[in-house]
Amino acid sequence: MRVVGGLSWVVGLGAVALTLVLTSPGDAAPAEPGGPAVPRELAAYSHLTSSVASSPPGAAVALFQHGWGVELLDFPQAVVLGAGGDAYRRVDAAEDRASAASQGDPAPMLLSPDGTKVAVGDHETADPDVVVVDLLTGEATSHPLPTGQSVLPVAWSRDGTTLAHLLSPEPTDPYTGERVAGEVGVLALGDDSTDLLPGDDVTAVAFSPDGTELAVERAGTPLTASARISVVHLASGATRDLGTVGVLAGPAAWSPDGRLVATTTLEPSGAPAGLAFVDPSPSGSSSTEDLPDPMELPLAEAGRVLGWTDAGEVVALLGVAGDDACCAEAYELSRVPLDGAAPQPLMRISDLQGYGVGRFQMASATVGDLRVVTPGEVDRGPWPPWLRGGLALLAGLFAWLSSRGVLRRTSSAARVTAPQR
């Protein structure tokens, strides 16, 4: 019987080892050659997506929240899509900072223009800081900030060296229906210094292409006023107003050539209705005829411009109408020509009712010539350690019990058939 027990333990431990080997991460397949890409269809929600910390994906092309609310065995995920269009990883630093006030949703997060970093803030904190996650290495670095009980990263400079935040003196609730307003802190990542801009009523900002100026949108200004958005020169503090009644179309609102700032026009309800453009230059020399015409578009969420292509188009997320007039059936990531031509779909995002996709962002500096791919296999990285360990233990237990029963029966049969002396 001792031999039977020993052999069954060997079989069980072998099953554990074999399961760990079979579920261990292999060598990651390199991204397809060429520029950044998106898949024709965004991959479905999965519990098997590995974290950035355990399996860095490299540069990303997009960042988004997958799933809303907390249900049985489900939780909202912060997910980056790798630049090759086939790799997905969870930004665990953003998920770890989820608070009770955010109903389990990942903390405020922002993808850098080159797709190599994610800035993570906090809706409620006693020690204000921003965590910058390096997607190339998986390392997370904390950068202290001088003030605020709430930290919302709102804009990166195009070169990725400077990060602007909204700093609020009180914790913020993202579900009030009101846009969060606060003081702007401009953090230089090189030396961890932060400059605070005057005023505490800012709701959005966008850097100029060279990083020397900041387009600033302020709350409390009537939508009919002509000075809702101003431009601040960061070195001198000089300010000039932009004559627009719209709101900034996200952190990538400023065109790479510096000629245009995109704004979102609003319905009376506050929902985004389309895009318009304004000349941000000090002279404001562009006449109305020189600017692209306003465009009515089914903009998703906040109506952001996600990037600008080399062909003078913007990239945006557009809703696809379904049977229910209240809600989009799907989203399409699309190129939108500024001449009014029909948008050109790139990637489709479906199953919005089962696992919604929100807070969608692009690596804005990389979308100049975005490719569309059809991955043969989705790369989600190694299985989570808890799952690998659990399966290994179950496999080992099953192998131990099975082998123990077989060996006992074999041993008993051998004793019965053994010749009697």
Q: Where are the domains of the chain?
A: 24-382
Cα 15 to Cα 34: distance, rounded to the nearest angstrom: 42
Out of 34-43, 90-99, 217-226, which region has the weakest mean confidence (pLDDT)?
217-226
pLDDT at 25: 53
- 382 with 131: CB under 8 angstroms? no
Q: Which contiguous run of DSSP H or E holds residue 277?
A: strand 272-278
The secondary structure of 61-125 as a DSSP string is EEEEEE--S--TT---EEEEEETTSSBEEE-HHHHHT--GGGTTPPPPEEE-TTSSEEEE-BSS-
Characterize the bridge pairing of strands 371-373 and 37-39: parallel
> What is the pLDDT, as a whole number, of residue 323?
60
Instruction: Record the pTM.
Output: 0.85
- Nearest CA-CA partner of 281 in 226, 338, 240, 248: 240
CATH 2.120.10.30 is held by the domain 24-382? yes
Q: Which of 74, 46, 77 is nearest to 63 (CA)?
A: 77
pLDDT at 310: 79
Average pLDDT over residues 56-67: 94
Rounded distance between C-alpha atoms, residue 264 and residue 324, angstroms: 24
pLDDT digit string, tens, across residues 68-109? 765 556 789 999 999 999 999 999 999 999 876 667 899 999
Q: How sure is the predictor about 31, in pLDDT bands with cuts at 50, 70 and 90?
A: very low
Return the DSSP state at 40. S
